Amino acid sequence: MIDFLNRNIFQPHPELLVFITVALGFLFGKLRYKAIALGAVTGCLVAGLLLGAQFKVTIDGTVKNLFFTMFLFALGYKVGPQFFRGLKKDGLPQVLNAVVVCVTGLLVSWGFAVMLGYGPGLSAGLLGGALTQSAVIGVAQDAIGNLPGLSAERMKNEENLVAIGYAVTYPLGTILCAMLLANVLPKLYKRDLAAESAQLAKELDAPGDDPDLAEGYYEVVLRAYRIARPDLVGRTIDDFENQQQALGHRIYLTRVRRDGKILDHTQSTVLREGDVVAVSALRGSLVDFDARTHIGPETDDVELLGYQTESLHVVASDKAQLGRTVADLRREPFMVGVYIDKIYRSGTEFPYRLSTTLERGDTVILTGPKRLVDPAGKAIGKPVPTSFATDMLWVGLGIFLGGCIGIPALTVSGVPISLSTSGGALIMGLVFGWIRGKYPTYGNVPPGAQWFMDTLGLCLFVAVVGINAGPSFTSGLSTAGWGLLIWGAVATLVPLIVGFLYGHYVQKIRFPILMGVLAGGQTTTAAIGAINEQSKSQIPTLGYTIPYAVGNVLLTIWGAVIVILNH
């Protein structure tokens, strides 16, 4: 092992150092206390700093720029639909709160940097770590590289200080954000997150009117019964289903066997004594209905129950259905026998309610018999079959166009101001993601590919940053001083407190939702996990998605802004 270290095989083969750094970084990232984890990104940065200090290997800047540009495009692509949706009237309160948090964070970080005499590197590191936004590292380093009048040595030193400042302030920033929102503020205001989330869920769910969403449990079951009740004989399937719907039950007769033969299914089929019917229902509805009493004895009929079912992903795009609530949608004839399993919005599962309105770009997962699901999918929007192929024409063109719009620069007081290629990739990712939401036939980027570009792209980038900054980590940390940790903690808390006061007293946002809004505005994923855990509910997530999209965009841009302000 000693001989291995002495030989330093990473000098001629730096790519090996990058991969072992990422492996160790993901291992470090699994370190967890309750709902709070170090995270893969910070883990990769720490591993890079440690291994970089040991082996003193320099990785070509093109490598990290490649991964960072890819990451920013993927980030914009993922949050694009949500970002533009937030600009609409119903999302504006959450957008405004996120802007307050982000602007306050910038001003506090800048004020501390000026007070302490930090240069552009430490200023950006303080902002990125305190506000838990990893993308600040790359954007700030790009901005430092464009500053005029810096020697090559000074420029490299400032770029390294970005990573050092971030590594010092990020872990505590994440912990403090989660603790403040999940524990401190609720206890200080004597609020029970679990009780309030449950109450809010009831208000939004209207459980007595919506068996689909009762207590968040809506498993579909399939049973067979032989008709023995005289009052069912002579009635049509449509008549039976309408009666059950009026009683609040979602129970459907999906197939009928008569005299040993399975009939072609129509809603006008008249039921006879001795018919065996396949019943599709929500488990709760079937228990309440007591099918044995109201239909007849249960039987087992493999062929009757063995019809093909489907779980279909549908991207909402039909104008006639957009803006309608889930409750309205369920009353449509094409939804007979079809169930809404889940709804995804901006790539994340959205805890929908009866009052949830369908928006363009939402992905609705429908389940039920294939013959019923396919027409329902076409009525709602564009069915999207599962595909693992990434549209690289879409991705490559988006990154190229983003880079092109990011290159031109204005000069203010001798300082060039531009989006940079990485900033341009973020903006174009937002646009392309929004287009994909509106026209889902274009630009397929499956979840696996998004994860590769988003999570792994950022981790590879920060691993390279850490490796390059490793040799100067000790000297940089001594330059910054451990006071950076204290000021970083204050810079984490002040924006959250300001956002809370604004949201609670001025906007009057419900408490569980407000906690989600604040976690999103500061883009702290660990915090929303801790809040949901404390709430014993996914309700706070309703306030998280829009501010998260806005926060990602603004805080990323702040990386360049604070460099210019402290130049």
pLDDT tens, position by position, 140-160: 988 898 888 788 888 988 998
Strand partners of residue 32: 37
Give me the phi and psi of 220, to 5 degrees please: -90, 135
User: Whole-model pTM above 0.85?
Assistant: no
Both structure tokens of 491: 């810079």
Both structure tokens of 153: 């040595």
pLDDT tens, position by position, 177-214: 988 999 899 999 999 998 998 888 777 653 333 334 43
Both structure tokens of 380: 């709602």
Distance CA 272, CA 257 (A): 10
Q: Which of 162, 476, 29 is nearest to 21 (CA)?
A: 29
Integer CA distances (angstroms), 206 to 242, 354, 355, 498, 551, in order = 21, 7, 9, 34, 32
Label residue 387 by pLDDT band (50, 70, 90). low
| Confidence at residue 430, expressed as pLDDT on a 0 to 100 scale | 85
pLDDT tens, position by position, 365-380: 888 777 788 888 889 9
Most confident of 264-273, 310-319, 354-363, 515-524: 515-524
Distance CA 333, CA 338 (A): 10
Residue range 398-405: average pLDDT? Answer: 87
Give the whole-number percent of the chain exceeding pLDDT 70.
86
DSSP calls for 10-34: TTT-HHHHHHHHHHHHHHHHT-EET
| Confidence at residue 210, expressed as pLDDT on a 0 to 100 scale | 39
- Res. 538: pLDDT tops 80: no
